[in-house]
Each structure stands twice: as C-alpha cells, then as structure tokens.
A and B are shown apart, each in its own frame.
Chain A
Amino acid sequence: MKIIDFSIIVKMSVVLLMTSCMALAQVQPTENSPTKESLDSYQFSSEAQRQTFLSLTAELRCPMCQNQNIADSDAMIAHDMRRKVYQLLQQGRSEQDVINFMKQRYGDFVHYQPPVTAYTMWLWLLPVVFAVVALLAITRKRNTQSTTDIDEKLAEADKLLARED
C-alpha cells in the first residue's frame, strides 16, 4: 500500500515543521538574574524602577554575544547598553522608550520579542497552515479510500463469480 507510506511522510514532515516553527516563535528571554555587578553598581530611587531595569536588561539582547541578554553578558557593549538603560530610566523615560531607543540603533534583533511583520508573520501562520492542510488531507483521503476499497472489492467479487461460472 504505497498511499499509506506517503501519508506517513506527510504527517511526519508536518509534525517536524510545526515543532520547528513553534520553537522559532517562542524564543523567550532567559529568566536568569542579572550579574552581581549590574545589581551593585546601579542605585534606584524606587523598587518599581529597579524592577523595570531588571526586566529591560533581561529582555534586551546583546548584539555582540549572540544568545545572551545584556544582563547576563559581560561584553563591553552589554556594559554600555546597561548603563544606557539606566541613564534613560533615570531621565524618566518609559520602558517602551528604552526598547525603541535600542531598536533604533541595533534593529529588531536587540529585543527578544519579535514584532509581527510581513516577514515574521510566518512564524505564527505556518503551523496553522500546516495543521489545516494536514486535516484536509486526512479527511479527503479517508473519503476517497473507502469508496475505492468498495469498488475494488466489488470488482474482485465479480471476477471470482465470473470464473466460477
């Protein structure tokens, strides 16, 4: 039964693609606490501001060291970005202002939440598309298979009957 073999391949490639797409779409910042240096060297007027600083440095990505946030990284650029985040917060800028400031200089790359654009939309769309295609394929195949099976069996029965005559 060749048809069944191919349907397994379809299902497997769908599963493979779905998992890889979901993994891409769900890139999350690591929840590690920032290094001691950044905690000790910055003074905050309020606990809320300190929390904003911590969450910002956790969700901003170091442009030099690929998969670290700027809180965890010890690269000089990460030091400089932490200092800039602190300065901007001290100036009374909002969390979104700081993110925009960094995005303006380092692109969308610098933020761990990718924006939905025509390009990144596929991260969310592709799994849905594959699921729909797979469902359609499975239901359609079931319908056609049952009728051909009956037709084939009838033809076979007719042959047998003809032989006996």
Chain B
Amino acid sequence: MNKSLWFAVPAVIFTLLVVFLFQGLFGDPRERDSMVQGQPLPPFSLPDLMDWETYYTEQSLLGEVTILNVWGVWCVTCAVELPYLTQLREQQGVRFVGLYYDQDLDPDFGTKTLERVRGEVSQMLRRLGDPYQFQIFDVVRDYSLDLGVTGAPEHFVIDKRGHIRMHHVGDINERVWKHKIKPLYEQLLNEPKLAVQP
C-alpha cells in the first residue's frame, strides 16, 4: 500500500477540518440571507405616524429610490445613527422613510397612548435630527414580520420599481454608507423610473 497516501488522506481531512472550524471563529452567526432581497415590497396599508388620516401602501414608495429605516425611540443604536442619516439627507439628498414601531405599544397589553408615542418621537427628532420624508407607523408590528425584521435598526434599499434591493441589518455609519450602501444607491438612482412591462 502506498505509504504517502496514508499520510496524505488524514492530513487533508485534518486540514479541511481546521479550516472549517477556524473560519467559524470569525463568522457572524446572526448573519442570514434576507428572504425579501430582490422581491417587491410586500403589500401593506399603514397610517402615517404623525397623521392618522394619511395612509400609505406599497405604491407610495414607487418612482423614487428610498431607504426604509426600521426604528423606534427605545432603540439606542437608532438614536446614534439619526444625526448621520440627517446629514446624508441634507448633504446628499438621500431619501429616508421611517418604518416606526413601538415596543411598549403592545397589541395584547397596550399601555401607551398614541399621543405619547408621537411626543417621544418628535422630541427625539428635534434633539438628534430628522432624516425622514415621512414615517409609516407599523401599528401592530405585522409589517416588520412580513419584511423579516428581527430588531432595530434595519434598512431596506428600495428601487424605483418598489423592489427591495438590499436588506441591511444594523446601523448606517460612515463606513457602511461608503462601502456598502452608497455604491448601490447611486446605481439605483441611474436606473429608469418605469420598469419594462413583461
């Protein structure tokens, strides 16, 4: 029997095992493929956070490149990114739409009034900056579930045809914007407004 083979086979298996386990040390177990990426926005009909009379649907986001920002006043990272998002809006004209959901406004054990939620939101936006064109209020957090949201902040980059092109979990800071989101955002700005009808 070939002696070098007896050495090579376990060595190769061992090396593969080491490589597999080693890369596991640096992998992010929270990172998962988004199910909505490349899909059209799931249908919804939700009110404006500040104005109960205005309703939005998935049609409301057609025609422009939008970054849908899932957030809430209870979320610390969201508060951290607000000034930077505001800066992006003011300096580069980036279009942010908020998808707001409240933690304490539990559909089963509601404890908070709508007025209080609105008060907290406007107070925070006055203090840290307001990047939003408008804010959609995910009243019972159903829509977040449809989008596969697991927490806040999360961002969805939506193209002019209303398709989700990127699902970014976590905040947007200078590094993320420059390397991950800005290239796609600018590419989407150059896409034609109307899709070719199939």
B145 is an interface residue with CB less than 8 A from chain A: yes
Question: Which of B1, B7, B13, B35 contacts A17 (CB under 8 A)?
Answer: B13
Which B residues, 1 to 36, have Cβ-Cβ distances below 8 Å to chain A? Answer: 1, 3, 6-7, 9-10, 13-14, 17, 29-30, 32-33, 35-36
Contacts of B17 in A (CB 8 A): 13, 16-17
Q: Is the CB of A105 within 8 A of B35?
A: yes
Q: Are B108 and A83 in contact (CB under 8 A)?
A: yes
Secondary structure type dominating chain B contacts: loop
Which of B9, B10, B103 touches A76 (beta carbons < 8 Å)? B103
Which A residue sits closest to B149, measured CB to CB?
A77
Q: Which of A84-119 contact B (CB under 8 A)?
A: 84, 104-107, 109
> How far apart are the CA atoms of A109 and B148 in the complex, in Å?
12
Residues of B within 8 A of A6 (CB): 6-7, 10
Please name all residues of chain A whose beta carbon is closer than 8 Å to the beta carbon of B151 when the two chains form the complex.
Answer: 64, 76-77
- CB-defined A-B contacts under 8 Å, sample of 25: A2-B3, A3-B6, A6-B6, A9-B10, A10-B9, A13-B10, A13-B14, A41-B108, A41-B109, A63-B150, A64-B151, A66-B29, A66-B30, A76-B151, A79-B106, A80-B145, A81-B145, A84-B142, A105-B36, A105-B145, A105-B146, A105-B147, A106-B32, A106-B148, A107-B35
Q: Which residues of B contact A (CB under 8 A)?
A: 1, 3, 6-7, 9-10, 13-14, 17, 29-30, 32-33, 35-36, 103, 106-109, 141-142, 144-151
